[in-house]
Structure 1
């Protein structure tokens, strides 16, 4: 069996359905971070048997690095009925401030979620795990993947539990959502090219004697960078970097060093005290050349990692999951051919590449030191602050709402575009109609009577609240699968047969 070995756990815990179903229909998700949890919950909601393998003990860790949900991710979560709960737990921020003078206003975003939601990753994981459990996902904690073999009919995954017991599991498909050091990625022989961008980044969870003036506090001065974000429980996460302090991740870290880098970057340390956690890490920029090898897929940090600049990491992984889950469900449930799965690579790999470029560009400009890079940053700041269209494009990229997917030659111009959360004729919203992983057909009244037969559990038909005549078939992830101007019943039926099955 080809593969590598992860870290051994101590016990095995199982939550959810005790019978994951026939092996040929089962999907194994490796990793129970946000990406794996959203994917597993989507699949189980669509009736696909899912087993999640996680080498860690069960529990939601508060030692997370992600602190933001962007507009497009919140829209995806709204389509699952989860956004309002998370909105209540987080704190909205209506503008991003970069390089001291550059401001990206989010309140002008064409979205119900015209803000950044500041919320720790573990709060997102709590909601996603609960949904997955309620949908019947089987969890096997403290179970590491030791390798995998795939053939024409499925994948055999080697496992080892914390007590040393070896075993195998059989599934139709496997998704590696197991992070930067992905065992799944190694097992299918994919490289992870790239490099470390920043080394010896310090992390700390501290209390502050002085509350910062802004919800997120971030700045770079000279050789120093610092970021502060609230957990909501009285503690703050500090992320800092000092170019002149380049030491291994294993070097001991004390609170005095965290205070020093914060003072250098922010001008004061806000009276930091009572650190409950201190650590170092290095930030890499890497991307797998392929997100799929046969029946095995990569998502989230297993597929791409980049700097924390712009808060795009967790968001990109969640959007990977939203893209892949409905496609796997369509294929496993027999409603689409396996060729549909090729579109995951075609659609998400370019997005991952773009995120690497944008986050890397932000951090390099933030840490500019040479005269020409400082001049470039000043020019870019002036340009974006005075050029509305360019600033809106930048906001669309960082928040995810500006991306669209490639469309086949000759397709309607709307194909592949993100669909806003429009209000429909019956007073409901489009994202409400998507819940349950459904396709949504939107037409003018009287053109289509609604789904019947085997499509009833996968398709919702709604009508425009306006006099618009374009027929729109919206995928479960909120992008246009098909559109036509003034389409009749026969054309619509042909589209439903092609895309919904």
Structure 2
């Protein structure tokens, strides 16, 4: 994101004076992406994390979907992760359901199998290089906000209490979010499956497929490689409802895996084993005044479809540019309301889709198994249905609400289209809006830190203004210089002036 550089622990400046600081609570993938975006844009950011500093290899997430990879591409990180992970252009569920990803309209027409800790490594490095201040072993104990900002009470490594001040706070602190509790938001929902077992194991006979997943009868199992000789196994057996603090042995994991997959692949040398339960929950609001929620603090889903980490990263990509624009005085604070309007419906949709998949996987009654068989047949034989499922799981099938009377493209995701200067997601790497025109548009140059102007590589005649997160802010089939200038003033703003919303 092209903006004024921020020195570590310093104050960014811009045309309207110092940028308003932001505190991000939580240093998982969502918090790291958000903090890195803000700091790169020139906004002072402090990340608070109650854990000691380390990148844990005990992560549950293993998949990056196409839309997330596109967002990482806009930050020049996707190719690095692609070199580490392993692409897979299809998924097989319930033995017979095949989800084809090769036809996705994306540069990343696959899923990338890669442990969460690899994603965290590159996001943390980017955040550090951008000047984010990290405060580990620092626990949030209270939050109070007023018209001018937010006071965050913390307890540091030595137990000393301190009050920090910021213009905005983002809670990316997980399912048990202290930030969410501090602003009084409920987290309605329920536990869907209990006594799920996890382990990192070596296999004497690795599976033939990269991801191995199946449900048979009363058992479910999933296997994915770390890339270091270990595999993560996730398993569940109906009726085997054991407290999470009960001892867990490798024999139990082997038995569940054999029931679901027909073999335990010679599991041995477990380096870690644990139990957990899977919830479906969503906060009714992602914003309370100057406080926002993102990732698991805002929504949690079943692991089906591997959408949890991906949805959180896309939350961060949606919120970061809006917070940066408002914090630097380039946009009306009302812009921040669109975070709730755009991301809450997506979170609800992911709850439905991941919940539907897990319920189909766990089907044990004749009519639910019949429903699963019918759905499988439909998705495998009716191409549009299968493509719609693939697009939704990959995250590229969503569009955001657009104002009444807006162009048909408004709110839609823009694929990585060819431009005369390269491709769109390279142009987005500046963290700016990108105006794509059929003819040369000079503009006044006043917005160069917030706007890149490109021309179509094709003979397309539509003029499109692409937001920093890759969605269409405005478009017109025919646009003269005045029309374009009015659109830029409304969406991008100008020095000393805040952009309007809508």
For the superposition of Structure 1 and Structure 2, which TM-score range results when normalised by the shorter chain? over 0.9
Per the alignment, residue 332 of structure 1 pairs with: 327
Q: Find 1:435's aligned residue among 407, 429, 432.
A: 429
Structure 2 unaligned spans of 5+: 1-6, 494-502
SS at match of 2:419: coil
Pair 1:45 & 2:40 matched: yes
Q: 1:189 to 1:296 in 2, by over 3 A?
A: same
TM-score by length of 1: 0.95
> Aligned partners of 1:413, 1:39: CA distance in 2, in Å?
29
- The residue correspondences of 1:341-360 to structure 2 (distance < 5 A) are 341-360=336-355
Q: 1:368 aligns with which of 363, 374, 394?
A: 363
Corresponding residue to 1:17 among 8, 27, 40: 8
1:451·1:461 contact (CA, 8 Å) conserved in 2?
Answer: no
> Out of 459, 467, 474, which is 1:475 matched to?
467
Mapping 1:90-489, distance limit 5 Å: 90-426=85-421, 428-446=422-440, 448-450=441-443, 452-453=445-446, 455-489=447-481
Aligned to 1:66, the other structure's residue is in SS state coil
CA distance in structure 1 between the aligned counterparts of 2:160 and 2:73, rounded to whole angstroms: 41
Contact 1:24–1:171, Cα closer than 8 Å, also in 2: no
**C-alpha deviations, 1:237-293, integer Å up to 9, x for none?**
000001121011111101010001000000000000000000000000000000000
Question: 2:65 aligned to 70, 76, 84, which one?
Answer: 70
Residues in 2 aligned to 1:468 and 1:422: alpha-carbon distance in whole angstroms: 11
Give the superposition deviation at 1:24: 7.2
TM-superposed CA distance for 1:163, in Å, is 1.2
CA distance in 2, matches of 1:313, 1:106: 19
Change (3 A) 1:122 1:20: farther
In the alignment, the residues of structure 2 paired with residue 400 and residue 390 of structure 1 have an alpha-carbon distance, to the nearest angstrom, of 15
- Corresponding residue SS for 2:418: coil
Q: TM-score, normalised by structure 2?
A: 0.95
Consecutive unaligned residues of structure 1, counting only runs of 5 or more, are: 1-15
| RMSD, matched Cα | 1.1
- Give 3-state SS (helix, strand or coil) of 1:195's partner: strand
Distance in 1 (CA, whole Å) between partners of 2:9 and 2:472 is: 37
- In 2, distance between residues paired with 1:240 and 1:24? 48
Which SS does the other structure have where 2:321 is aligned? helix
1:21 Cα deviation (Å)?
6.0
Q: Secondary structure at the residue paired with 1:434?
A: helix
Whether the aligned pair in 2 keeps the contact of 1:365 and 1:377 (CA below 8 Å) is: yes
Post-superposition offset of 1:321: 0.1
Alignment partners' CA distance in 2, 1:486 and 1:413:
13
| Aligned partners of 1:175 and 1:299 also within 8 Å | yes
CA contact under 8 A between 1:20 and 1:50: conserved in structure 2?
A: no
Matches of 1:292 and 1:97, distance apart in 2 = 37
Q: Is the 8 A contact 2:19 2:42 kept in 1?
A: no
Q: CA deviation at 1:141?
A: 0.4
